[in-house]
Amino acid sequence: RGTGCGLCPLVTRAACGRGKTMHMATLMGGEGVVVACDRSARKVKVIADLAAAQGLEGCVRAAKADATKAMPPSVEAHAPFDRVLLDPPCSALGLRPSLRPAGAVSVTGLEQHARYQRLMVARAVEALRPGGVLVYSTCTINPHENEGAVAWALRHFPSLSLACQEGERVGGPGLECCGLTAAQSAMLQRFEPGGQGEGATDDLTGFFIAKFNKEW
Phi, psi of 208 (to 5 degrees): -150, 145
Please report the pLDDT score of residue 204 as a whole number.
78
Q: How far is CA 75 from the centre of its chain?
A: 17
- Encode pLDDT of 129-184 as tens digits: 999 999 999 999 999 999 999 999 999 999 999 999 978 788 899 999 999 999 99
Annotated ligand binding at 202? The verdict is no
**Higher pLDDT among residues 13 and 139, named by residue:** 139
Hey, what amino acid is at 208? F
139 is catalytic: yes
- Which pLDDT does position 170 carry in this prediction? 83
Mean pLDDT of the chain: 86
Into which CATH architecture does domain 1-88 fall? 3-Layer(aba) Sandwich (3.40)
> Is residue 49 part of an annotated ligand binding site?
no
Q: Which band of pLDDT confidence, cut at 50, 70 and 90, is reported for residue 215?
A: very high
Report domain 90-96+129-216's class. alpha beta
Degrees, nearest 5: CA angle 121-126-131: 100
Q: In sequence order, what are the residues at sequence separation of 6 or more whose Cβ sits closer than 8 angstroms to the Cβ of residue 60?
A: 21, 22, 25, 33, 34, 36, 47, 48, 51
- Three-class HEC string of 168-181: CCCCECCCCCCCCC
- On the question of pLDDT at 15 being above 80, the answer is no
Separation between Cα atoms, residue 95 and residue 116, nearest integer Å: 20
The reply to whether domains 1-88 and 90-96+129-216 share a CATH topology is: yes
Mean pLDDT of 46-69: 92
The predicted pLDDT at position 7 comes to 33
Q: What is the 3-state secondary structure (H, E, C) of 88-136?
A: CCCCCCCCCCCCCCCCCCCHHHHHHHHHHHHHHHHHHHHHEEEEEEEEE
DSSP one-letter code for 155: H
Does the structure show a pLDDT above 60 at 2? no
What is the per-residue pLDDT across 88-127, written as a single tens digit (0 to 9) for each?
999 999 986 666 666 678 899 999 999 999 999 999 999 9
The reply to whether 82 sits in an annotated binding site is no
- So where are the chain's domains? 1-88, 90-96+129-216
Stated as kind and residue range, the H or E segment containing 86 is strand 81-86
pLDDT given at position 102: 61
Closest CA to 130 of 13, 213, 35: 213
3-state secondary structure of 146: coil
The mean pLDDT value for 76-97 works out to 90
pLDDT at 5: 34
Residue among 16, 139, 164, 178 flagged as catalytic: 139
What's residue 31's pLDDT? 84
Grade residue 197 by pLDDT with cuts at 50, 70 and 90.
low
Whole-model pTM over 0.85: yes
